[in-house]
C-alpha cells in the first residue's frame, strides 16, 4: 500500500511540473529542454530553507516556487527579448539547465554532487493533491484570462499576434515565469517527499521527460499532459522492470509517439471537452 | 616556464578541439540539411567506439582497420536511425522540435540498450600510439593528440572537397538551401539524406574511436557531444568550416579556462558561451542568415 501511495504521490508531483510546462509549451508554443533546472531550483531552495534554517514547510515551498520563477528571468529575459528561433531557444535553455546543474554540483550549500540527504519528509498525499488541484484551477483561469488568450494567440501565429497588439516579449516571459513557478513548487514537494536530492536528478533527461509528457499528452491541452505524465511515472513502476530496461522502453516510446501520434493523446482538446460541447450545444439552442 | 605552460595549454586545447570539431561536423551536417538538433549523434559516436573496440580487442585488428570498421558501423547505424526514427517525421514536415524529441528518444534508447546488454563497465582500447611524446621546447605533445588533430583536419578537408566538388556534394548543398526545390530538380531526397547520415555517422565513428582511445569507452561517453553542439553554435549552425573553427576555438578556450581559472567553472563557462552566442550572434562566426521564416 505504501508503495502504491508513493507512486501516486510521485506521479502527482511530476504532474505539477508537467502542468507548468504545458502552459509554456502547449499553450504559448515555446519548447523547453531545460525545465528540470527550475524543478532543481525549487527543490534545492526549499530543502535548504527547511534543512539549514528550519523555515516552515509551506513557506519553504513558496520560496522554492518564487526562486524558480526568479531564476527563469535570468534565462528568459535575454533569450526571449532576442526572439530566438524556437529550436535555438530550446537549445539555449538546455545549456542554461546544464550550466545550473554544474553549479549545483559545485556549491557548498548544496553539498555538491553527493546531494543533500536527510531533508524532512513533509510531503503527504493530501498536500500534493491540494497543490495539484490548486495548480489545475490556477492554470485554467490563467489560460482563460487576457494573458492566456495572448499566449494562445502567440502559439498560433507570433507575427499576427504581434500585429494585433500582443506584446510578444512580455507575454512569453510571463508564461515562462508561471511555468517555472509550477516547476519550482513541484521541486519543493519532490525534495520533501524523497528527503534526498542530488544534482543528477535534474538532467537533460528529466527535462525531456517533462517535455515528452506535454507532447505525448497533446499540445494545447491540460488534461492530456496530466494523463500522459501519470502514465509515464506509473506504468514503468507497474511493470516493475529493471531500471535500464525501463529507460530503453522509455526512449523507444518517445520515438514511437513522435512517429505515430505526434498530436499526442488529446491534441488541443480536454477530457471534459466532449461533455462541455454537448452542454454548450444545448445552451445555444 | 609561463610560456611553456601557455604553449602546452594551447596544444592540449587544439587536440581536444580537433575531436570536438569531428563531432561538430557530423552534427552540423545533419543540422544544415534537416534543420534540427540531432541529439542521437552522441549515441552514434558511442556505438562507433564500441564497434571499434570490438574489432580491436576481439579480432585484434590494426588501427587503420579498426577506424574503417568503426566508420562503417557508425555510418550504417546513423542511416538506420534516420530511416526508423526521422524519415516519417521528415516526410510529414513535422516541426523540428518533434525531430529533436525523437532524436532524444533514440539517444536514451541506444544508451540504455548498451547499459542493459554490454554493461556500464569502462573499456580501454589497446595502445595504438604507445606513450610516445614529441618534445617541443619545454612542452610535450603526445603522439595520439597529434594524430587526432591531423586526422580531424584531413577528414574535414576531405568532406569539404566532397561537398564542394562532387555531384552528390552539389546535391547536398542544394538540399541545404531548399529541400523542396532540390527534389523538384530530380534529386532523390531519401538517397541524399541517407548519404548525409552516412557521412555524419562516419565522422561519428572517427570521433568515437579517438575519444575511446584518449579517454575510455562507456555507455554515456556520447554526452561529450554537448560540447559539439556548443562548437557548432559558435561556428555557426550548419556551417562546416564553422564547425571546425568552433570546435578548435571551444577546445582551446575551455582548456585555458580550466588551466588558468578553474576546471570546475569550465562547463559553466562553455554553456554560458553557448547562450551568449545564441542571443548575441545566433548565426555564429561563419553561419548563414537563419531568420525563422513567417
> What is A25-75 written as a DSSP string?
IIIT----S-THHHHHHHHHHHHHHHHHS---HHHHHHHHHHHHHHHHHHH
Nearest CA in chain B to A156: B294
A271: pLDDT strictly greater than 70: no
pLDDT digits (tens, 9 = 90+) for A195-208: 889 998 898 888 88
Are A46 and A61 in contact by the 8 Å Cβ rule? The answer is yes
Residue A91 pLDDT > 90, yes or no?
no
The H or E element that residue B82 is part of is none
Q: How much is the pTM?
A: 0.84
Quick check: B120 pLDDT over 90? no
Mean pLDDT of A265-269: 66
Q: Above pLDDT 90, what percent of chain B?
A: 22
In the prediction, which pLDDT does B294 show?
Answer: 41
B204 closest CA partner among B61, B108, B36, B78: B78
Mean pLDDT of A245-252: 82
Distances (CA, A) of B223 to A131, B38, B229: 35, 13, 11
Does residue A45 fall inside a structural domain?
A: yes
B291 falls in which pLDDT band (50, 70, 90)? very low
B123 forms bridges with which residues in the sheet?
B217
Cα separation, A26 vs A29, whole angstroms: 6
Measure A199 CA to nearest chain B CA, in Å.
14
For residue B146, pLDDT beyond 90 = no
DSSP B10-28: HHHHHHHHHHHHHHHHHHH
How far apart CA B124 and CA B288 sit, in angstroms, is: 40
The answer, yes or no, to whether residue A85 has pLDDT greater than 80, is no
Measure the CA–CA gap between B106 and A250, rounded to whole angstroms.
10
Is A254 in contact with B101 (Cβ distance < 8 A)?
yes
Any domain includes B196: yes
Domain annotation covers residue B265: yes
Chain A CB within 8 Å of residue B161 CB: no
d(CA A144, CA B242): 46
Q: Name the helix (H) or strand (E) containing B224.
A: none
Q: Where are the alpha helices (DSSP H) in chain B?
A: 2-34, 41-58, 63-81, 87-91, 96-117, 143-165, 167-177, 179-184, 189-214, 225-235, 240-256, 265-280
> Is the distance from CB of B219 to CB of B99 less than 8 angstroms?
no
Nearest CA distance, B287 vs chain A (angstrom): 14
DSSP per-residue string spanning B26-62: HHHHHHHHH-S--TTHHHHHHHHHHHHHHHHHHS---
- The pLDDT mean for chain A works out to 86
Residue with cell 562566426: B285
Within a domain: B291:
no
Confidence check: pLDDT of A118 > 90: no
Average pLDDT score over residue span B196-207: 93
Q: How far apart are CA A150 and CA A258, in angstroms?
A: 28
Q: For residue A184, is pLDDT > 80?
A: yes
Over pLDDT 70: what percentage of chain B?
95
Poorest-confidence range of A164-168, B94-98, B216-220, B277-281? B94-98
pLDDT of residue B292: 44
Query: The domain spanning residue B28 has which CATH number?
Result: 1.10.3470
Considering its fold, how many domains does chain B have in total?
A: 1
d(CA B183, CA B193): 11
Across the interface, whether the CB atoms of A84 and B279 are under 8 A apart is answered: yes
Banded model confidence at residue B260, pLDDT cuts 50, 70, 90: confident
Q: What is the pLDDT of residue A70?
A: 95
Which tops the pLDDT comparison, A16 or A109?
A16
Q: How many angstroms separate the Cα of B175 from the Cα of each of A236, B188, B196?
A: 41, 10, 10
A95: which 3 cell numbers? Answer: 545549456
- The confidence band for A174, taking pLDDT boundaries of 50, 70 and 90, is very high
User: Residue B290 pLDDT > 60, yes or no?
Assistant: no
Phi, psi dihedral angles at A219 (to 5 degrees): -65, 150
Q: Is residue B169 part of a domain?
A: yes
Q: For residue A267, what pLDDT is reported?
A: 65
ipTM summary value: 0.82
Query: A141: which residues sit within 8 A by CB, 6+ positions away?
Result: none
* CA nearest to B273, candidates A131, A225, A92, A135: A92
* pLDDT surpasses 90 at A188: yes
Under the banding of pLDDT at 50, 70 and 90, the label for residue B98 is confident
CA distances in angstroms from B39 to A13, A84, B46, B109, B179, listed in the order given:
27, 20, 12, 12, 22
Is pLDDT above 90 for A67? yes
Cβ atoms A31, A86 nearer than 8 A: yes
pLDDT interval class at A284 (50, 70, 90): low
Q: What is the pLDDT of residue B44?
A: 95
Determine the length of chain B.
294
Is pLDDT at A183 greater than 90 in this prediction?
A: yes
User: At which residue does the C-alpha cell 530553507 appear?
Assistant: A49
The boundaries of the domain holding residue B158 are 2-280
Closest CA to A229 of A8, A2, A24: A8
* Residues of chain B positioned with their CB less than 8 A from the CB of A245: 112, 116
Q: Is the pLDDT of residue B126 over 90?
A: no
Average pLDDT (A133-147) is: 92
Interatomic CA distance for residues B211 and B205, integer angstroms? 10
Under a CB-based contact definition with an 8 Å cutoff, are residues B31 and B9 in contact? Answer: no
Mean pLDDT, range A170-182, rounded to an integer: 94
pLDDT exceeds cutoff 70 at B38: yes
Number of domains in chain A: 1
As a whole number, mean pLDDT of residues B47-64 equals 89
Q: What is the pLDDT of residue B293?
A: 41
d(CA B191, CA B202): 16
Query: Quick check: A44 pLDDT over 50?
Result: yes
The pLDDT of residue A272 is 67
Does residue B189 carry a pLDDT above 80? yes
Q: Can you read off the three cell numbers belonging to residue A195? A: 528527503
Contact A258 B105 (CB under 8 A): yes
Res. A150: pLDDT tops 80: yes
Find the helix or strand (DSSP H, E) in which B140 lies. Answer: strand B139-142
CB of B167 less than 8 A from some CB of A: no
CA distance B87 to B262: 43
- Is the separation of the CB atoms in A115 and A40 below 8 Å? no
The sign of the dihedral angle between the CA atoms of A183, A187, A193, A194 is positive
Residue A240: pLDDT over 80: no
- Please indicate, yes or no, if residue B256 is contained in any of the structural domains: yes
Q: Do B101 and A212 touch (CB under 8 A)?
A: yes
Q: Is residue A245 part of a domain?
A: no
Q: What is the pLDDT of residue A268?
A: 65
- For the stretch B269-273, contacts whose Cβ atoms lie closer than 8 Å and that sit 24 or more positions apart, written own/partner, are B270/B227, B270/B230, B271/A95, B271/A96, B271/A98, B271/A99, B271/A102, B271/B230, B272/A95, B272/A99, B273/B230, B273/B234
CB contact under 8 A, A92 and B274: yes
Q: How many CB atoms lie within 10 A of CB A15?
A: 27
Over chain B, what is the mean pLDDT? 85
Q: Which pLDDT band, with edges at 50, 70 and 90, does B43 fall under?
A: very high
CA distance linking residue B243 with residue B246, whole number of Å: 5
pLDDT at position B226: 83
**pLDDT of residue B85 exceeding 50:** yes
Residues of B in contact with A103 (CB under 8 A): 268
C-alpha cell at A226: 496530466
Tell me: pLDDT of A20 over 50.
Answer: yes
pLDDT at A265 over 70: no
Tell me which chain B residues have a C-beta less than 8 angstroms from the C-beta of A258: 85, 89, 94, 98-99, 101-102, 105
Chain B residue closest to A159 (CA)? B294
**Taking residues B191-196, what's their average pLDDT?**
90
| Domain around A21 | 2-202
B293 occurs within a structural domain = no
Q: Would an 8 Å CB–CB cutoff place B262 in contact with chain A?
A: no
The DSSP-derived string for A141-169 is HHHHSHHHHHHHHHHH-HHHHHHTT--HH
Q: What value, to the nearest 5°, has the Cα angle with vertex A69 and ends A89 and A101? A: 65
Residue B137 pLDDT greater than 80, yes or no: no
Place of cell 514503468: A236
Q: Mean of the pLDDT values across residues A173-178?
A: 95
Structural contact between residues A186 and B72, judged by C-beta atoms closer than 8 angstroms: no
The answer to whether the beta carbons of residues A179 and A20 sit under 8 Å apart is yes
d(CA A170, CA A86): 16
pLDDT score of B128 more than 80: no
Q: If you average pLDDT over residues B123-132, what whole number do you get?
A: 77
Rg (CA), chain A: 19
Residue B197 lies in a domain: yes
At A233 the pLDDT is 80
Of the candidates A3, A6, A4, the one whose C-alpha atom is nearest the C-alpha of residue A189 is A6
The answer to whether the CB atoms of A98 and B233 lie below 8 A apart is: no
Residue A53 lies in a domain: yes
Domain presence at residue B133: yes
pLDDT for position B110: 92
Instruction: Give me the mean pLDDT over the A272-282 stretch.
Output: 68
Amino acid at each position: 500500500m505504501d508503495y502504491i501511495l508513493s507512486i501516486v504521490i510521485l506521479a502527482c508531483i511530476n504532474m505539477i511540473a508537467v502542468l507548468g510546462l504545458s502552459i509554456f509549451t502547449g499553450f504559448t508554443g515555446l519548447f523547453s529542454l531545460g525545465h528540470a533546472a527550475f524543478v532543481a531550483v525549487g527543490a534545492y531552495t526549499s530543502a535548504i530553507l527547511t534543512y539549514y534554517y528550519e523555515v516552515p514547510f509551506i513557506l519553504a515551498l513558496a520560496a522554492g516556487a518564487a526562486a524558480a520563477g526568479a531564476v527563469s528571468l535570468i534565462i528568459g529575459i535575454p533569450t526571449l527579448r532576442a526572439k530566438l528561433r524556437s529550436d535555438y531557444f530550446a537549445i539555449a535553455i538546455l545549456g542554461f539547465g546544464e550550466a545550473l546543474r554544474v553549479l549545483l554540483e559545485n556549491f557548498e550549500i548544496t553539498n555538491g554532487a553527493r546531494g543533500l540527504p536527510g531533508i524532512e519528509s513533509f510531503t503527504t498525499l493530501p498536500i500534493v493533491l491540494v497543490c495539484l488541484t490548486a495548480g489545475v484551477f490556477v492554470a485554467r483561469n490563467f489560460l482563460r484570462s487576457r494573458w492566456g488568450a495572448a499566449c494562445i494567440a502567440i502559439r498560433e501565429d507570433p507575427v499576427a499576434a504581434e500585429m494585433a497588439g500582443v506584446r510578444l516579449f512580455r507575454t512569453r516571459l510571463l508564461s515562462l515565469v508561471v511555468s517555472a513557478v509550477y516547476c519550482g513548487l513541484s521541486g519543493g514537494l519532490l525534495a520533501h517527499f524523497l528527503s534526498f536530492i542530488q544534482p543528477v536528478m535534474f538532467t537533460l533527461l528529466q527535462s525531456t521527460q517533462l517535455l515528452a509528457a506535454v507532447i505525448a499528452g497533446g499540445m494545447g491541452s491540460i488534461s492530456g499532459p496530466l494523463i500522459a505524465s501519470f502514465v509515464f511515472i506509473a506504468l514503468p513502476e507497474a511493470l516493475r522492470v529493471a531500471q535500464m530496461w525501463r529507460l530503453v522502453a522509455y526512449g523507444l516510446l518517445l520515438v514511437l509517439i513522435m512517429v505515430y501520434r505526434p498530436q499526442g493523446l488529446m491534441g488541443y482538446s480536454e477530457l471534459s471537452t466532449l461533455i462541455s460541447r454537448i452542454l454548450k450545444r444545448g445552451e445555444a439552442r | 616556464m609561463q610560456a611553456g605552460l601557455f604553449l602546452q595549454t594551447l596544444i592540449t586545447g587544439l587536440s581536444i578541439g580537433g575531436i570536438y570539431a569531428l563531432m561538430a561536423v557530423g552534427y552540423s551536417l545533419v543540422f544544415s540539411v534537416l534543420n534540427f538538433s540531432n541529439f542521437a549523434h552522441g549515441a552514434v559516436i558511442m556505438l562507433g567506439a564500441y564497434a571499434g573496440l570490438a574489432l580491436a580487442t576481439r579480432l585484434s585488428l590494426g588501427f587503420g582497420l579498426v577506424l574503417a570498421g568503426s566508420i562503417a558501423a557508425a555510418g550504417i547505424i546513423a542511416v538506420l536511425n534516420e530511416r526508423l526514427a526521422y524519415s516519417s517525421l521528415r516526410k510529414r514536415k513535422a516541426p523540428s522540435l518533434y525531430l529533436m524529441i525523437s532524436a532524444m528518444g533514440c539517444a536514451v534508447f541506444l544508451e540504455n540498450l548498451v547499459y542493459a546488454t554490454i554493461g556500464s563497465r569502462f573499456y580501454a582500447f589497446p595502445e595504438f600510439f604507445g606513450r610516445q611524446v614529441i618534445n617541443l621546447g619545454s612542452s610535450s605533445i603526445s603522439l595520439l593528440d597529434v594524430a587526432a588533430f591531423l586526422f580531424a583536419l584531413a577528414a574535414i578537408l576531405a568532406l569539404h572537397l566532397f561537398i564542394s566538388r562532387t555531384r552528390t556534394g552539389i546535391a547536398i548543398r542544394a538540399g541545404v538551401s531548399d529541400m523542396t526545390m532540390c527534389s523538384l530538380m530530380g534529386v532523390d531526397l531519401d538517397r541524399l539524406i541517407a548519404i548525409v547520415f552516412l557521412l555524419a555517422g562516419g565522422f561519428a565513428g572517427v570521433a568515437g574511436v579517438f575519444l575511446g582511445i584518449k579517454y575510455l569507452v562507456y555507455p554515456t561517453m556520447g554526452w561529450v557531444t554537448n560540447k559539439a553542439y556548443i562548437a557548432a553554435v559558435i561556428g555557426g549552425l550548419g556551417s562546416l568550416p564553422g564547425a571546425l573553427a568552433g570546435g578548435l576555438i571551444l577546445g582551446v578556450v575551455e582548456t585555458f579556462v580550466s588551466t588558468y581559472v578553474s576546471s570546475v567553472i569550465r562547463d559553466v563557462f562553455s554553456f554560458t558561451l553557448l547562450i551568449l552566442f545564441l542571443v548575441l550572434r545566433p548565426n555564429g562566426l561563419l553561419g548563414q542568415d537563419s531568420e525563422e521564416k513567417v
